[in-house]
Structure formats: C-alpha cells, structure tokens
Structure 1
Amino acid sequence: MTAKLSAEEKSIIEYVESDRAISIDNVENEKKRYKQIACAQMSKKKAISIRLLESDIERIKAKSLSQGLPYQTLISSLIHQYANDKIKFDA
C-alpha cells in the first residue's frame, strides 16, 4: 500500500533524489543553530504603547501586587492568554 503524497511532499522527494541536493557538514550543530533561531524568534518581544484609564492601571497594579508580579507582566500575560484562546472577551 502506498501513501498518497501531497504536491509539496512530491517536490521534496524529487529534490532530494536529484543531484541538486547537497550534504551539510555537521548536521547536529546546524539543527541546534536553527532551533536556537526559531526559539529566539518565537520569544521575541515588541514594545507597544497603549492608553489606559489611570483607575484601571491602579486596579491592575493592586491585583499584580497580590499576585507577586510586576503589573506589566500581568498585562502581558492577559494579552498572551487572550491571543491563545485561553480566556474569552465579553464585550
């Protein structure tokens, strides 16, 4: 029984079987290097500026203090959880 291959998979097999593919020296080091690059890219942070009500900031600071973490970390965590569908927003 042969598996049905996608066009991309067929293209990869064709490339590998052709003489165009080249061997990489020290493959393990290259895998580690690309893993580090991927991890760095995924954890890259970007500064943003938002306008919030002072009263909201004070309440967030109080809640973050009770959690034992900086208020900006709490805000970042909430945004991250929302972006990853861990919490829902009710308008």
Structure 2
Amino acid sequence: MKHDKEEKYILDALKSGKMKLSSPSKKEIEAITSAADNTFKKDRRITIRLYDHDYIGIQKKAMEMGIPYQTLISGIIHRYIEGDLKIKAG
C-alpha cells in the first residue's frame, strides 16, 4: 500500500514514539456513534412514478450491483444533491 507524505509522517512518528495513540473518551464515542447513526438514517418516504422500462432498468442495474433497487435510487439522488452526479446539457 502506498502512503502519501502526510501518512508517511504519521507512521514514522508512531514508530519512533513521537506520537502516541489515545483511546477516545466515552463522550467522543457517543458523538461518533450518533453521527454514524444519523448518516444512514433515512427518515423520509416518497412515492414516485416511473416509466415501466426505467423501473425494469433500475431493478436490473441494482441486481447487477447486488443492492436493493431503492438503495440504488436513493444513492443516485444523494450523489446528484452532493454534486457528484451531473446532468449532461444537450
């Protein structure tokens, strides 16, 4: 595995004893756990209408990926909202 400059610096500091790992506090663990829970919490249900061929296509793609089709649709929407998925002008 290749490491970048910062990763090499951290690994060297750990090996040489210049840096030591500490265990997170109970409060930090609770905050991390809460953030993780909220990241994957889906709390809105929507209904959409699709063309039959689009629905079949989504199901096929999801099956190829080994995920539920609702997860694929949710992921596509999330990627679009985050700016990772662009619509081609044309």
TM range, normalised to the smaller chain?
0.5 to 0.7
Change (3 A) 1:29 1:82: same
Name stretches of at least 5 consecutive residues in structure 2 with no aligned partner: 1-23
Give RMSD over aligned pairs: 2.1
Q: Hey, what's the Cα distance between the residues in 2 that align with 1:58 and 1:42? A: 29
Would you identify which runs of 4 or more consecutive aligned residues in structure 1 move more than 3 Å? none
Name stretches of at least 5 consecutive residues in structure 1 with no aligned partner: 1-26
Summarize the alignment of residues 30-41 of structure 1 with structure 2, pairs less than 5 Å apart: 30-41=27-38
Shift of 1:57: 0.3
Identical pairs, percent: 35
Aligned length: 65
TM-score by length of 1: 0.56
Shift of 1:31: 1.8
Larger Rg: 1
TM-score by length of 2: 0.57
